[in-house]
Amino acid sequence: MTTPVVDFLNRYSESDYIRLHMPGHKGRSTDDFFRYDITEIDGADNLFDPKGIILESMKNASELFSSHTYYSCEGSSLCIRAMIYLAMLEYKRIHNEESYILAFRNVHKSFVSAIALLGIDVEWITSDVPNYLSCPISPDELEKYLKIKEKKPAAVYVTSPDYLGNILDIKGLADVCHREGTMLLVDNAHGAYLKFLKNSLHPIDLGADICCDSAHKTLDALTGTAYLHVSDNCSEFIFNSVFRALALFASTSPSYMLIRSLDALNAHLSNNYPLELQLLEDKINKIKEELSLHGYRLLGNEPLKITIDAGDYGYSGTEFYSLLMKNKIICEYYDKQYIVIMISVSNTYKETEHLLKILLSIKKEPSLVNNPPAFSLPVASIKPFDAIRSMTEEVKVSKKIIGSVAGDIIFNCPPAVPIVICGEIIDYNIYSALKYYGYKTCNIIKNPDKLD
């Protein structure tokens, strides 16, 4: 596979042109990689109106992902805003009126900022699992929910894989959405690699209409790189609007270092990556088997994540994290109950062996239960669009905040999943969840009754 951006930047950085353009470092710094950091000079193309090397590179990525693939230098966060916007525009084009988004509640913060910025109505759908991080709703449950809706949502929005490593039945959910006349949008930030499994589990292959993947979360790409994938099912109108949607929210100075990273990644993905992934998947399956036999309770069905119920094994997540850290292992996430470990093909065999050895050396203790307070969906008092334009005040988290209206975009449990979002009323359960997650202070809306 060609790497046109890498080649252009190599040629330019090795040339003797005098750089009388942005950025100010002129490619010179103590760090050698600054030489690849350029602006949109002739030949370097334009991320949101590509006609040259970036277009060629995106076409390569599209071929790899069997979709229409667009680059983001601002993570999945940018792609999420763009896909919500596209779904709303599409509904308006077809029905000549606006609609709402039906979202599984365990969204990432960037979804909430998208609906707040765009003034979009959202209807939440929740499950009865005892944590805020997962929302395992089946296609049948979704179908029952959608069937009775007189007005269909512009899109159903789901997060899969979630932070704990649960993958939803995307094929089933997509079929239901299409039967019920709506689109399926998937936050696949944690699942770029799913495309390269022996049997792809990538949302686009399973019928999703639009999805985003953070390249940097699971592939060897720089932080900030992501893909927006649009499936063949989408209309000409959506294809013609994608760059407009991305440019609406994006910086006008995309990083060539990040574009270069995505370009270089294409070469790896088209060569050794699938085989490396298969070997790694086998290795992780063996690790999971050994851990289960040893008495660990593991969660989730995502191939490259190992989620351990540390409480069940007799430790708080925090204690368990420290034990791993003492043994030179830093894992992705911990809360009071769970530990999430993310492994990629860039980890060495020695590292995964070390992980297994350390996990097996930790003694099982009587179970602790640190489960967060029961999930509850707060009642909305004002729309997020109004809430972000309201004055807020910082207050201590005490029982006195019960009945107040949340002012921060979200109050989240650690990986940016909402307990409560701006404009919703803090009830007793929410107060308890804030205490559980260690909130000392929070912002509430000042004088919410006085809003227009």
Ligand X SMILES: Cc1ncc(COP(=O)(O)O)c(C=O)c1O
Query: CA–CA distance from 433 to each of 12, 377, 412, 418, 419 (Å)?
Result: 53, 12, 10, 11, 7
Residue closer to ligand X, measured from CB, 83 or 426: 83
Which strand ranges, in their side-by-side order, compose the sheet holding 101-104? 68-72, 226-230, 210-214, 183-187, 155-159, 101-104, 122-125
Residue closer to ligand X, measured from CB, 104 or 320: 104
Residue closer to ligand X, measured from CB, 52 or 414: 414
Residue closer to ligand X, measured from CB, 68 or 305: 305
Residue closer to ligand X, measured from CB, 207 or 415: 415
- Residue 310 CB, shortest distance to ligand X, in Å, is 20
144-150-154 Cα angle (round to 5): 85
- Residue 130 CB, shortest distance to ligand X, in Å, is 19
Phi and psi at residue 420, in whole multiples of 5°?
Answer: -150, 145
Neighbours of 339 (CB within 10 A): 26
Residue closer to ligand X, measured from CB, 217 or 260: 217
Residue closer to ligand X, measured from CB, 189 or 308: 189
- Residue 162 CB, shortest distance to ligand X, in Å, is 7
Residue closer to ligand X, measured from CB, 50 or 415: 415
Q: Which residues bind ligand X (CB under 6 A)?
A: 75-77, 108, 110, 159, 163, 187, 189-190, 214, 226, 415-416
Strand ranges (E), 57-200: 68-72, 101-104, 122-125, 155-159, 183-187
- Residue 301 CB, shortest distance to ligand X, in Å, is 16
How many H-runs (helices) and E-runs (strands) does the chain carry? 14, 15
- Residue 105 CB, shortest distance to ligand X, in Å, is 13
Helix axes 75-95, 236-249, angle to 10 degrees: 140
- Residue 72 CB, shortest distance to ligand X, in Å, is 8
* Contacts for 199 with CB less than 8 Å, ≥ 6 apart: none
Give me the residues paired with residue 421 across strands. Answer: 410
- Residue 133 CB, shortest distance to ligand X, in Å, is 9
- Sign of the alpha-carbon dihedral angle for 357, 362, 367, 372: negative
Residue closer to ligand X, measured from CB, 75 or 165: 75
| DSSP tag of 363 | P
- Residue 109 CB, shortest distance to ligand X, in Å, is 8
- Residue 307 CB, shortest distance to ligand X, in Å, is 14
Which strand ranges, in their side-by-side order, compose the sheet holding 298-299? 298-299, 305-309, 338-342, 333-334
Give me the residues paired with residue 405 across strands. Answer: 425
Q: How far apart are CA 54 and CA 428, in angstroms?
A: 51
Q: How far apart are CA 234 and CA 183, in angstroms?
A: 9
Q: Is 444 exposed, middle or buried (0-12, 13-18, 19+ CB in 10 A)?
A: buried
Residue closer to ligand X, measured from CB, 159 or 166: 159
Q: Which residue is nearest to ligand X (CB)?
A: 75
- Residue 169 CB, shortest distance to ligand X, in Å, is 18
Judge contact between 169 and 301, C-beta under 8 A. Answer: no
